[in-house]
Structure 1
């Protein structure tokens, strides 16, 4: 499959119309139709349902669209990285991460690096651990910030020199908001929002003392922004990290769990992976900054002793 034909395919899938797609691609309708027909013949699969007004994807077409997007993205990245060799340090660093306020640590390193190499750009993706590791394994991400536990066998990693705290986001008029912390028995009957990755992890279920599915789960979520608005309107409460939602001057509040759960976070990348120059200097900056933070923490500990 040629990348040119895959770009044709993706444009038609997006526009759902041969005429519009041909105009965007600056080619003729007949040429575009022929290219798509040849693609279907080469794969031995029907990719489109051709209606009188629009074209829609078959199940096989939807599968190819996902793979084609990944192929094109990786191809474009490779071309851009190759152009950056033997030039001034530039290019794009592709980073993914779970939602955590500790992303500020990464942001500080990015800011420091931008002063030295202003031509470096970043492409950031927020998602679940499953999404991030899948993209990392496929080469669509250079780095990912993940919450423990993580199987590190395929990765190199740096442990962040601090932890994040799990708790519950709720309205201030919720009866549980009067407590300084939330115990497992407190959430037995409350409607809750649970992140997708929390359902498959053992951290919260161990704290709860039973399966997460035993809770009154009203919805699962990927990112906390929208659930926070729903909770503000009175729709349940959510398990999340501290400081992800600004509760100052709002109807919301955060209460930590008891016993306390602190999550360790890691910046990971594939073993034996070779970075473009931008990714290489980014990692060097991160290693330098993290080492400095660990030293500061060690000095504070010694002073307290």
Structure 2
């Protein structure tokens, strides 16, 4: 199975049309059809259902698409890494980021680093701990920012300088906005928004035996989206301080949880990672700048 063939397959899966995919790939339609037929024969499975004007993936095709995307990304990353071996002015960095206002420290480090390596290009992926850990394990990411302490059997890491504080995003006209802090009793019976990871982790631990009294109205991976729903009166958002605009004219306020709930965050990398030269230099820069 060749990487080129997988690229052909992914183009057809994306376009759902053989002619458009052939045009984008700069190959003839018969050539593309032959390559896909050979791929189906090699795997012994039908990958597409062909209709008059479109093509759809079979269940086996969907499975291959998910695997092929990772394989093609890995092949691209390997090619870029070898190209960057001789590029002392830059290279490619792949970063996976959780949400935190402390990302400003990482952004400052990248900005300073680019002054010495102007040809640096960085690629950002956002996600929760499970999603990011999977990608770094596959070698698709060089560094990940995690909101829970990394497993020292798998990772090495650096702590960010500060902590993130949990609280509630509330419309400024709501009676709860008059409180200085939010207690568990205040949350009981409210429609709450939160990420799945935090709801089943930090919030569950904070609420303890009374967790079952809390009501999850909806889950959001991005706090900004949750804040829009909170602004429209659909519920209240549990999130970190500083992620949402709560300035005077924003219409929203942030109130911390009591007792206080805080998280440390970490930038981590695979303990057995084989770094490119630019990634090694960036790690040394990170260690210096965070200290």
- 1:229 and 2:233 matched: no
**Could you tell me which residue of structure 2 aligns to residue 244 of structure 1?**
243
**Could you tell me which residue of structure 1 aligns to residue 74 of structure 2?**
74
Contact 1:189/1:215 (CA < 8 Å) preserved in 2?
Answer: yes
**Could you tell me which residue of structure 2 aligns to residue 296 of structure 1?**
none
- 1:206 and 2:208 matched: no
Give the secondary-structure state (helix, strand or coil) at the position aligned to 2:209.
coil
Contact 2:168/2:182 (CA < 8 Å) preserved in 1?
Answer: yes
Contact 2:84/2:92 (CA < 8 Å) preserved in 1?
Answer: no
Contact 1:73/1:140 (CA < 8 Å) preserved in 2?
Answer: yes
What 5-or-longer segments of structure 1 have no aligned partner? Answer: 292-305
C-alpha deviations, 1:78-110, integer Å up to 9, x for none? 101101113323111111111000000101111
Give the superposition deviation at 1:211: 6.6
C-alpha deviations, 1:101-134, integer Å up to 9, x for none? 0000101111111111111111111111111111
Give the superposition deviation at 1:35: 0.8
**Could you tell me which residue of structure 2 aligns to residue 57 of structure 1?**
57
The 5-angstrom pairing of residues 8-27 of structure 1 reads 8-27=8-27
**Could you tell me which residue of structure 2 aligns to residue 303 of structure 1?**
none
Contact 2:156/2:270 (CA < 8 Å) preserved in 1?
Answer: yes
The 5-angstrom pairing of residues 75-224 of structure 1 reads 75-201=75-201, 203-210=202-209, 212=211, 214-224=213-223
Contact 1:199/1:212 (CA < 8 Å) preserved in 2?
Answer: no
Partners in 2 of 1:58 and 1:199 — Cα distance? 35
Give the secondary-structure state (helix, strand or coil) at the position aligned to 1:144.
strand
Contact 2:90/2:278 (CA < 8 Å) preserved in 1?
Answer: yes
Partners in 2 of 1:45 and 1:265 — Cα distance? 44
Partners in 1 of 2:97 and 2:25 — Cα distance? 34
Question: Which stretches of structure 1, 4 residues or longer, exceed 3 Å deviation after superposition?
Answer: 210-214
What 5-or-longer segments of structure 2 have no aligned partner? Answer: none
Gap change, CA 1:119 and 1:213, over 3 Å in 2: farther
Partners in 1 of 2:95 and 2:102 — Cα distance? 14
Give the TM-score normalised by the residue count of structure 2: 0.96
Partners in 2 of 1:181 and 1:47 — Cα distance? 56
Give the superposition deviation at 1:77: 1.0
Paired residues in the alignment total 290
Partners in 2 of 1:68 and 1:114 — Cα distance? 32
Contact 2:149/2:266 (CA < 8 Å) preserved in 1?
Answer: no
Give the superposition deviation at 1:214: 4.2
Give the superposition deviation at 1:209: 2.0
Give the TM-score normalised by the residue count of structure 1: 0.92
Partners in 1 of 2:164 and 2:265 — Cα distance? 8
Partners in 1 of 2:67 and 2:37 — Cα distance? 19
Partners in 2 of 1:19 and 1:226 — Cα distance? 38
Partners in 2 of 1:212 and 1:37 — Cα distance? 54
Partners in 2 of 1:210 and 1:168 — Cα distance? 20
Contact 2:94/2:122 (CA < 8 Å) preserved in 1?
Answer: yes
Partners in 1 of 2:243 and 2:122 — Cα distance? 21
Contact 1:49/1:55 (CA < 8 Å) preserved in 2?
Answer: yes
Partners in 1 of 2:149 and 2:159 — Cα distance? 12
Give the secondary-structure state (helix, strand or coil) at the position aligned to 1:234.
coil
Partners in 2 of 1:21 and 1:115 — Cα distance? 40
Contact 1:128/1:196 (CA < 8 Å) preserved in 2?
Answer: no
Partners in 1 of 2:87 and 2:150 — Cα distance? 36
Give the superposition deviation at 1:51: 1.1
Give the superposition deviation at 1:212: 4.7
